[in-house]
Amino acid sequence: MVAGLVSGKLALVTGAGSGIGRAACEILSREGATVIAAGRTYDKLVETVKIITALPSGSHDKGDHCAVELDVSDSKSIKSLLQKIQEQYKEPPRIIVNSAGVTRDNWMLKMSEEDYDHVLNVNLKGSFLVMQSFARMMSEAAVSGSIINISSIIGKYGNIGQANYAASKAGVVAMTKSAAKELGKFNIRVNAILPGVIDTQMIKTVPDKVKESMLKMVPLGRLGSPTEVAEVIMFLSSDKSSFITGAAIDVTGGF
């Protein structure tokens, strides 16, 4: 059997209960990684683990895949996860996928401070805390790694009703580029992906008229799939992208 692109590696995926996060778990498992599926809703994480365990590549030398509850905006929750990983796997994850994200959309003039703060705390601060904690774990263990932060094309162009979300995702790109400059000396690569209009639960909350107008801006004329984003995550996780760091890659169908 041909070894997968990330065989023998341990991967942590946040936001793993659905959408891009779940698809990333599936693709990473397909290519030989042992996956830690982390997120807020434990039942959905367990479902993700069942899906990837059932794949032909579902059993790995590093041990079983696992589901772990995690609030990325809470440093205590992240510290608890670090301890669990050290106890169970005895090594740091070499692949980190920061896919956890939320929206609380509203017109800027009506947006509450609470809604603004919540989105920034999860999408930007959460990505920072996870990246900081696990980059430290990797550097202390003297192992190389790849961190992939999920931003959004909205972080580049903005969008009506999403001032908070756009700010958080633009921040993820800038933070990614800064982290890449700092962590390169440890052979830890850091890259961002900017998905466009992707067929996830998040897009299902968008009114049909708005969705139709967004699709008119996509030259390929359709929604992207979570798997199409996950394949780019896979590339950035593997040695196929060994000289890529600090990049922000659009996966948008040309949006």
Q: Give the catalytic positions in this structure.
A: 165
CA separation for the pair 29, 59 (Å, rounded): 9
Cα 36 to Cα 22, 28, 41, 69, 92, distances in angstroms: 11, 11, 14, 10, 11
- The conformation of residue 40, written as its DSSP 8-state character, comes to S
Q: Are strands 10-14 and 145-150 parallel, antiparallel or unpaired?
A: unpaired
Instruction: Give the long-range contacts of residues 79-86, CB within 8 A, separation 24 or more.
Output: 79/133, 81/38, 82/133, 82/134, 82/137, 85/10, 85/12, 85/36
Residue type, 119: V
Angle at 11 between CA 121 and CA 249, to 5 degrees: 65
Q: Strand, coil or helix: what is 44?
A: helix
Which H/E stretch holds residue 168? Answer: helix 163-183
